[in-house]
Amino acid sequence: MTWQIKEDGKFIYGYYPGLQRILSNYNSVRHFSSVYALLEAIDFTGNYEDTRRAKKTLQWGID
């Protein structure tokens, strides 16, 4: 999941394969539910190296 996080903390939710474009629809509910899922995954897998990226997603959403 972390490969879908841009450097600024915003998620890439998907692509229009026929148009070769990134989905442009974005909202705070989708963002923060994805952050929650990421934090749950980190806790479940024990891959705490992803915590830095999770913090970026939180900060992006707050900003």
Please report which confidence band the pLDDT of residue 1 belongs to, taking 50, 70 and 90 as the band edges.
low
Q: Summarize pLDDT for 15-50 with one digit per residue, the tens.
A: 777 777 777 777 888 889 989 999 999 999 999 988
Residue 21's domain comprises: 2-62
User: What DSSP string runs through 4-56?
Assistant: GB-TTS-B---EETTTTEE-----HHHHHHHHHHHHHHHHHH--GGGHHHHHH
Confidence of residue 51 (pLDDT cuts 50, 70, 90): very high
Q: What is the pTM of this model?
A: 0.75
In the chain, how many domains are there?
1
Residues 37 and 4: beta-carbon distance below 8 Å: no
How sure is the predictor about 9, in pLDDT bands with cuts at 50, 70 and 90?
Answer: confident
